[in-house]
Structure 1
């Protein structure tokens, strides 16, 4: 009888999910999809999707979009690239999709963010700046409706 992580399917799945998340963090600008990510950890796409959402509270796609938008926010704050250049730099293939996803997560279009964003992170510890600028989906930030 074996003990440890190899005998517990939940721990094995969490290890594989961590690998997927780490791959997204490293390769966010590359063309990634659930099928390719699942293949990399020898899971079906459906199983990966269900397990990822259960473990991290968001879909693989949402996690990928958040990583891309976080990087885009940093590049736009620097201000050296155009919005179009930033779009392609972070892995989007469509400026329209980039603008839509950015607006959903940040609350303003990327051009507005670039033109009016002030780098308030100057002098701030990087770990705090990361939390301050972590995109939040608008619908998550909305106050609950009362009827």
Structure 2
């Protein structure tokens, strides 16, 4: 095994998404001009020519090369309902046992979880799959709100563009902020983004016909401006608070109170994006009560204050030019 984290192996397997794999190749495969020393030694590793959507990729080395590398990158899987390939899981586990720094991009976290690398650790993945990851691997502390999690030798990123955030974080760890900033400018991306992936979540909980909570979710969403407790939710669902909590953990991957707070934040996001309402009005409409309470929870959950969020996500009003006016 290489003790140098700049010896990088990208795992490749059928069913991976080409965006994250290509992103990793772009970051670690081409050195910025200002680099004073050596860059990364990058290899793509797999057992055979792999299918990435409509593309086919021929790996440089076999999966056994992962255990001889200092850093192992696991790109996203397209299908997280199926078990990840067994040979990939074993190779990733062997690499970690050999001392490699193992990094997942987006749903690559399901490979790390299957290998047992995330047990007892905080981790993340694409927000659309965090509940599934938590339910499938209950020993993993899934954080649905962050862009990435750095546990030292095991790192996970949220979806899509958050993979870039984590890759730049690795460059910053290995080469310093100045080089990471140079690389970010070349890639035309920010070297560091404020906030977490909670800024980009749109669907709070998937619809599940026949589920014991299927009728509770819309009932709550119609009453977000009202004070609600776990007991209120349990009474409406006709079950005990303890039973309600078990259903919430299996369905949403979180507790009823945290889910309720998340929905209030989502409502505030929607109003910040689509209205000119004051922060006080939005606080009342989302059940936060006061602007102070909304700002505190919004900053803690989203990572940026409400005003900054509105500036980022509120589309500017269209401007019209009167074609009959003289120039």
Q: TM-score, normalised by structure 2?
A: 0.30
Mapping 1:1-147, distance limit 5 Å? 15-114=211-310, 116-119=311-314
Instruction: Report if aligned partners of 2:273, 2:315 keep a CA contact under 8 Å in 1.
Output: no
How far apart are residue 121 of structure 1 and its match? 10
How far apart are residue 55 of structure 1 and its match? 2.0
Q: For 1:99, what is the secondary structure of its paired residue?
A: helix
Q: More relative contact order in 1 or in 2 (CA 8 Å, sep 6+)? A: 1
Instruction: Report if aligned partners of 2:234, 2:240 keep a CA contact under 8 Å in 1.
Output: yes
Unaligned runs of 5+ in 2: 1-209, 318-327
Instruction: Report if aligned partners of 2:280, 2:290 keep a CA contact under 8 Å in 1.
Output: no
Structure 1 CA distance for aligned equivalents of residues 246 and 290 of structure 2: 27
1:51-81 superposed Cα distances (whole Å, 9 cap, x missing partner): 2112220111222222221221121123411
How far apart are residue 104 of structure 1 and its match? 2.2
Structure with bigger helix share is 1
CA RMSD of aligned residues (A): 2.3
Count of residues paired in the alignment: 108
Structure 1 CA distance for aligned equivalents of residues 256 and 217 of structure 2: 8
1:18-51 superposed Cα distances (whole Å, 9 cap, x missing partner): 2222222222222211101111122111221122
Structure 2 CA distance for aligned equivalents of residues 74 and 41 of structure 1: 26
Q: For 2:215, what is the secondary structure of its paired residue?
A: helix
Structure 2 CA distance for aligned equivalents of residues 90 and 66 of structure 1: 10
Q: For 1:15, what is the secondary structure of its paired residue?
A: coil
Instruction: Report if aligned partners of 2:227, 2:287 keep a CA contact under 8 Å in 1.
Output: yes
Structure 2 CA distance for aligned equivalents of residues 121 and 23 of structure 1: 33
Q: TM-score, normalised by structure 1?
A: 0.63
Unaligned runs of 5+ in 1: 1-13, 123-147
Structure 1 CA distance for aligned equivalents of residues 253 and 316 of structure 2: 28
Structure 2 CA distance for aligned equivalents of residues 22 and 118 of structure 1: 25
In our comparison, the structure showing a higher alpha carbon Rg is: 2
How far apart are residue 102 of structure 1 and its match? 0.9
Structure 2 CA distance for aligned equivalents of residues 77 and 18 of structure 1: 27
How far apart are residue 83 of structure 1 and its match? 0.9
Instruction: Report if aligned partners of 2:272, 2:314 keep a CA contact under 8 Å in 1.
Output: no
Structure with bigger strand share is 2
